Amino acid sequence: MRILHFFKTYYPDAFGGIQQVIYQLAEGAVQAGVQVDVLTLSAKNPQQTYQIANHRVHTAKQDIYVASTGLSWSAITQFKALAAQADVIHYHFPWPYMDLVHLLVRPNKPCVVSYHSDIVKQKYLLQLYQPLMMHFLKKVDAVVAAAPNYVQTSSVLQSLDREIDVIPYGLDEQSYRQPALATLNKWQSTLPEKFYLFIGFLRYYKGLSFLLDALKNLDYPLVVIGEGPCEQELKQRAEKLQLKNIYFVGPVPDEDKNALLSLCYAVVFPSHLRSEAFGMTLLEAAMYGKPMITCEIGTGTTYINIHGETGLAAEPANSDSLRAAMQQLWSDPKMAVQMGINARKRFEENFTAQVMNQRYMQLYQRVINGYNN
């Protein structure tokens, strides 16, 4: 079997949740004896083919980038050639240009779509794109979401009038190296013994402004890993609120991130918009046996984090609700420990890379069999 993944960005140009999922799927398939190609756009390294771990990556030149969508003339030709060699084409949604390429090339191959997220921000452009989007999603052989509650709350998925497969994302624990003692000691000497941890790109939908407001007059220690367009605004907000225990540590190497996951009291993930479709950080928190605080936005964040079992769910964009959740968890260490144990158990049962890969391999075989029949 040969699989072709197609998405707008990939390693090493971009390191996000979708890129991580593609990597895990590619490497898992290779271990099962499958050949894997990834086709992506790149403004930095166009028209190249290179190896990442055990799979091949092909880059097409990104000619235009508008409304979070990369466009490329050469990608059409490259996609056509790679699709002709593939047994299954695996698309990663959303990316409107991808739908257009599929329509232009019309690959005579079984096609799977991982529906990672609704389009939330570009509402007006969505109205123009919607006919193409619906045609694309109705014609492919399988559409996959990562959480059952996302299917239930997505107007697009609900309107497709077809079965949606649900395969949660998973992580390979072996790829997370144990931090060195010196790294652990470095952070222990720098930070308070007990702290909340946030990990993520500092974007508008991450809800960090509400989190900072929630900490007013509490000032629990909070470590923020990440960078992004909202960074300066958040630092100014923390200063205005006179918060003394906020540690903006920027992007850190994986070993340091793993150390902070090991040391933290709990992970807080206050994303308040559906742009946050799953939350790979929460999988990391569950893997490390940490309780979580999330917001109920009808996406994978509260599929990973079950309110009252693995952590607490607050109301979105509600600082008072976030504050109450943080106070409840902070003041009850026994409950926090038990929730962390529950989170770890749920991770082992539902969110390992092995489970994800096995289910996708079964799906690939199913669509191949259905296509040939």
- Structure confidence by residue, pLDDT tens digits, 76-113: 999 999 999 999 999 999 999 999 999 999 999 999 99
For the CA atoms of 21, 23, 24, 28, the dihedral, rounded to the nearest 10 degrees, stands at 140
Rounded to 5°, the CA angle 210-211-217 comes to 105
First to last CA, the chain: 17
Instruction: Say what the pLDDT of residue 124 is.
Output: 64
The DSSP bridge pattern shows strands 246-250 and 2-6 to be unpaired
Beta bridge partners of 26: none
Sign of CA dihedral 93, 98, 100, 104: negative
- Rounded mean pLDDT of the chain? 95
Stretches in the chain below the pLDDT threshold 70: 122-124
Per-residue model confidence as pLDDT tens digits over 277-307: 999 999 999 999 999 999 999 999 999 999 9
What structural domains and CATH numbers belong to the chain?
2-172+352-372 (3.40.50.2000), 174-350 (3.40.50.2000)
Q: How much of the chain is in helix, strand and coil states, percent to nearest 5?
A: 45, 20, 35
Host H or E run for residue 93: strand 88-93
Distance CA 227, CA 330 (A): 26
β partners of residue 91: 6, 113
Query: What residues form DSSP beta bridges with 293?
Result: 268, 312
Amino acid at 155: S
